[in-house]
């Protein structure tokens, strides 16, 4: 249900992108603020825990509604295996299917895709629905996994971190799995550093941004070659 809800929420972005050519990045970012306010309303109103000492949170989920733990004594649950399986499925879909090929062409060369007769609107709808489905599934696994209840801090900047994860993974499904593990280590290490070394949370975010910046610079030097050309000497005559 969380995955379906994520796909339905992403359909709003797809609708405005196809009908009015609105920028999907800006629309999705603004809709995330709307979703946060909707969550605040639910946690402060209909879904508020009556025994939660007035904190904006839902009641604790029952054991049967929780995602099963994968390793005893840790917070690793079955959603980790689901993530790996879906990552492989997405790789097969993008690399081995004709539909995935059309999505790649539409993203890398929109004019070539239009010349080949690929439907741009259909590609936008499909890609955003898949992204919303994955985001909703991840949110549901976070709520029904480590948290055990619905809280206002369920997002905690994961959407922005996902941008860094996607770029560090080279926009490749398998590479994203590796970069996600790296970012997870940074998150956990940042939490420990705040406690043991008294570092602010801003230090962790600065490190994440610096990591992305270094990656983009490295990619620029790999893909392009810099040439220093001297200006031709011209005679005053």
Looking at the predicted structure, is the pLDDT value of residue 211 above 90?
no
Same domain, 162 and 124: no
* Structural domain total, the chain: 2
Same domain, 69 and 174: no
Same domain, 10 and 78: yes
Average pLDDT over residues 203-220: 85
Same domain, 145 and 77: yes
Same domain, 76 and 176: no
Same domain, 18 and 127: yes
Q: Looking at the domain assignment, is residue 60 inside a domain?
A: yes
Model pLDDT for residues 67-106, shown as the tens digit of each residue: 888 888 888 889 999 999 999 999 999 889 999 888 888 8
Q: Which of residues 98, 127, 154 is at a domain's end?
A: 154
Report, in angstroms and rounded to the nearest whole number, the Rg of the chain calculated over CA atoms.
22
Half-sphere exposure of 200 (CA within 13 A, CB side): 4
Which pLDDT score, from 0 to 100, does residue 231 have?
66
Q: Which of residues 154, 180, 211 is at a domain's end?
A: 154
Domain that holds residue 209: 157-225
Centre a 10 Å sphere on the Cβ of residue 13 and count the other Cβ atoms it contains.
26
The size of the chain, in residues, is 237
pTM, entire model: 0.82
Biggest CA pair distance of the chain: 91
Model pLDDT for residues 112-153, shown as the tens digit of each residue: 888 888 888 888 899 999 999 999 999 899 898 888 888 887
């Amino acid at each position: 249900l969380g995955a379906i809800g994520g796909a339905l929420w992403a359909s709003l972005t797809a609708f405005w992108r196809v009908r009015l050519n609105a920028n999907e990045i800006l629309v999705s970012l603004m809709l995330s603020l709307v979703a946060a306010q909707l969550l605040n309303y639910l946690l402060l109103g209909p879904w508020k825990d009556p025994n939660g000492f007035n904190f904006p949170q839902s009641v604790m989920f029952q054991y049967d509604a929780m995602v099963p733990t994968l390793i005893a004594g840790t917070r690793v649950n079955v959603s980790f295996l689901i993530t790996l399986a879906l990552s492989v499925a997405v790789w097969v879909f993008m690399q081995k299917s004709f539909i995935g090929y059309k999505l790649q062409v539409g993203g890398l060369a929109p004019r070539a895709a239009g010349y080949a007769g690929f439907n741009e609107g259909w590609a936008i709808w499909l890609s955003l629905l898949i992204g919303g489905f994955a985001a909703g599934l991840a949110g549901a696994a976070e709520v029904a996994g480590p948290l055990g209840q619905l809280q206002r801090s369920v997002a905690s900047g994961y959407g922005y971190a996902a941008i860094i994860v996607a770029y560090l993974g080279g926009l490749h499904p398998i590479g994203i799995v590796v970069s996600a593990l790296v970012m997870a280590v940074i998150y956990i290490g940042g939490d420990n550093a705040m406690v043991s070394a008294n570092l602010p949370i801003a230090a962790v975010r600065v490190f994440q941004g610096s990591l992305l910046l270094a990656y983009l610079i490295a990619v620029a030097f790999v893909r392009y070659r810099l040439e220093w050309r001297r200006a031709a000497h011209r005679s005053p005559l």
